[in-house]
Structure 1
């Protein structure tokens, strides 16, 4: 059964209609496989996101666009690199994949500390 995922490319200015996509997929891994198999439709998001390892200053892969061009790149490694992206002012975007849970409007509660039914 497929799930819904929100894929965002977030700059510090916030979310705009052009900075997210909702897709149907079995898993995050399937999304990463699709990105590797068909990188061009994802280029706008990939080109603006840079994985960073703050514990290792010598870590540098370039943008995620550069990463998907590497023939050795695997979907698993791509997911790791996506999770290493972050917002850095106007210069770089955080690429993120979020599984969506659909709620009834009457059940919405935006308090992250409240208990959910």
Structure 2
């Protein structure tokens, strides 16, 4: 099963609880899990531009948000760093794991 690196980055960099490696079939599977249980992903999503929509939309408008996993991926890929008020969230597939090189001496 593929590995994915999920990051949430602010202008100060990446903190320990703002990155995670998970096993999943695809980026879409991770995005669907975020839609199904956003509070499990709160460390990553709370400071992003998508948090309000996926946690409050249905409550405010009394209708489902209606996003697919691909809709969420598009919005996550459009997130950006705006100081410490808005974080950039990304889901990267890990395609190459490198070993630490042996010392040459």
Question: What's the TM-score, normalizing by structure 2?
Answer: 0.80
Aligned residue in 2 for 1:65: 51
Shift of 1:106: 2.5
Q: Check the 8 A contact 1:67/1:73 in 2, yes or no.
A: no
The superposition leaves residues 51-79 of structure 1 with CA deviations (integer Å, 9 ceiling, x where unpaired) of xxxxxxxxxxxxx1223245211101000
CA RMSD after TM alignment: 1.6
Gaps of 5+ in 2: 58-63
- Bigger relative contact order (CA 8 A; separation at least 6): 2
Match of 2:85 in 1: 91
Please name the residue that 1:3 is paired with. Answer: 2
Q: Displaced runs of 4+ in structure 1, greater than 4 A?
A: none
More helix per residue: 2
**Structure 1: segments with no counterpart, 5+ residues:** 51-63, 108-117
